[in-house]
């Protein structure tokens, strides 16, 4: 089987948390369970071994700066769900919109008014690309209502099986008992694939959770999304789009628990099984550095929060919501091709500013409020565009899924520096 090597920056962390990680690794050989130190890596990426990508799939430009699986040009045809212009390649802005920020290098982005559902601007909105850990927003949309909030679980090694090598983790230790709110903080703050797997076990298992997520995506009208893992870990055929990820964030912000978790910058996380020095809680900070303000990324004024991610195949992905002057803007950025440090945050900041300048002035180019979301739009029917968006209209539903032409994919998890210096680890 062809494999893909993933590299990310490495950093230092709390030694006591490293001991927790080593204990977890000893009990679960298949799971790289280590707490991570907040950061969004911008390290040089190791190109994937030679593969023969499917035409039109994201694997067509292996070794590109924005991720080993990135390709430079969008497909010739994309879904027109939400409006005709959202299925067109390139930048889409309406009359009255301010000039777009200079230097936008992302393969795909969407800026929308969360209150009205109007899409204010977009680039390749329906390009199906690997989502990395931004897919955890769909996981939360699906599992938050299903798992009792006052529940708890004593973790077994079986719960952590199937985690990808190098997965980012909050530091869950088999034998420890964890409350559901702590698990969700592990998901949102540390992008912990270990927390995702424990919650998936509480939801009936990974296989059921993946099926539930796919069903939920369909209900929301997210026709570009194919779910293969609950945590965003790279997998052949797993794709989403800036349009769909924006849907997931907008939906999540309607839920008070989702909103609370995604807006939390730091928290305490419980230690592992009782024992000398092992049962004390430790601090965790959000890997979304635009929220936490870590490592030189200034917090964005009015930021609600969202979800970030990184894998070799996905590059950096980021979805954020912010409020200002009575408006809520949601933005998704996928795979900036400029490899400058923190570029995903630079482009996110510029697009949030642009969205607040455009709202109420720019003619929308589409809508998140599809006709019959979960109905006609999700089944490939016609999607109507509300309002008087110039150039927008109805069109066919989502196209057949693209197939990612890669072998076993690189490791995933949330963006962040990992403690284990001897190994280069991947994130999702």
Look at residue 304 and give its three-state secondary structure.
Answer: strand
Q: Catalytic amino acids?
A: 133, 136, 191
Residue 293, CA atoms < 13 Å, CB-side half-sphere: 8
Give Cα 86 to chain centroid, integer Å.
Answer: 20
Question: What token pair was written down for 264?
Answer: 């939390």
Other beta carbons within 10 angstroms of residue 235's beta carbon come to 21
Give yes or no for a contact between 404 and 22, defined as CB atoms under 8 angstroms apart: no
Residue with tokens 């910058």: 265
**What is each CA distance from 178 to 172, 194, 206, in whole angstroms?**
8, 12, 18
Give yes or no for a contact between 194 and 412, defined as CB atoms under 8 angstroms apart: no
Q: Is the dihedral of CA 415, 420, 425, 428 positive or negative?
A: negative
How far is residue 130's CA from residue 240's CA, in Å, rounded to a whole number? 6
**First-last CA distance in the chain:** 21
Question: What token pair was written down for 398?
Answer: 């989502």
**What is each CA distance from 307 to 296, 312, 387, 406, in whole angstroms?**
18, 17, 29, 25
Select from 231, 235, 35 the least CA-distant residue to 133.
231
Strands 315-324 and 91-93: unpaired
Question: What token pair was written down for 33?
Answer: 């369970």
How far is residue 319's CA from residue 290's CA, in Å, rounded to a whole number? 11
Strands 327-336 and 118-123: unpaired
User: Which ranges of 144-286 does DSSP label H, i.e. alpha helix?
Assistant: 180-190, 193-202, 206-219, 242-252, 256-262
């Amino acid at each position: 089987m062809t494999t893909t090597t993933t590299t990310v920056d490495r950093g230092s962390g709390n030694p006591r948390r490293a001991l927790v990680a080593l204990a977890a690794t000893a009990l679960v050989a298949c799971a790289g369970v280590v707490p991570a130190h907040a950061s969004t890596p911008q390290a040089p990426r190791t190109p994937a071994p030679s593969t023969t990508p499917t035409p039109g799939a994201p694997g067509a430009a292996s070794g590109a700066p924005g991720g080993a699986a990135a390709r430079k040009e969008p497909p010739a045809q994309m879904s027109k769900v939400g409006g005709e212009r959202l299925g067109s390649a390139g930048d889409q802005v309406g009359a009255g919109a301010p000039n777009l920020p200079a230097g936008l290098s992302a393969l795909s982005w969407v800026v929308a008014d969360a209150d009205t559902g109007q899409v204010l601007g977009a680039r390749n909105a329906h390009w199906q690309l690997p989502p990395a850990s931004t897919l955890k927003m769909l996981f939360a949309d699906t599992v938050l209502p299903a798992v009792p909030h006052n529940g708890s679980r004593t973790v077994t090694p079986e719960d952590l099986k199937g985690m990808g090598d190098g997965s980012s983790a909050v530091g869950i230790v088999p034998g420890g008992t964890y409350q559901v709110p702590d698990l969700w903080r592990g998901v949102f703050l540390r992008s912990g694939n270990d927390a995702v797997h424990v919650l998936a076990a509480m939801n009936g298992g990974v296989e059921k959770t993946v099926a539930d997520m796919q069903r939920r995506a369909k209900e929301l009208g997210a026709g570009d999304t194919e779910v293969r893992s609950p945590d965003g870990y790279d997998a052949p055929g797993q794709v989403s789009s800036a349009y769909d990820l924006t849907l997931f964030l907008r939906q999540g912000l309607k839920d008070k628990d989702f909103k609370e978790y995604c807006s939390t910058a730091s928290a305490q996380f419980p230690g592992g099984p009782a024992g000398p020095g092992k049962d004390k809680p430790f601090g965790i900070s959000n890997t979304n550095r635009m929220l936490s303000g870590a490592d030189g990324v200034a917090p964005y004024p009015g930021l609600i929060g969202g979800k970030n991610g990184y894998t070799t195949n996905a590059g950096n992905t980021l979805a954020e919501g912010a409020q200002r002057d009575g408006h809520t803007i949601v933005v998704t950025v996928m795979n900036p091709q400029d490899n400058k440090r923190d570029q995903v945050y630079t482009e996110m900041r510029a697009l949030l500013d642009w969205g607040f300048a455009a709202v109420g002035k720019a003619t929308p180019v589409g809508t998140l409020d599809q006709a019959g979301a979960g109905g006609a739009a999700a089944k490939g029917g016609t999607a109507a565009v509300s309002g008087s968006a110039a150039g927008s209209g109805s069109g066919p539903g989502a196209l057949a899924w693209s197939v990612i032409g890669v072998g076993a994919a690189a490791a995933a998890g949330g963006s962040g520096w990992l403690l284990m210096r001897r190994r280069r680890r991947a994130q999702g």
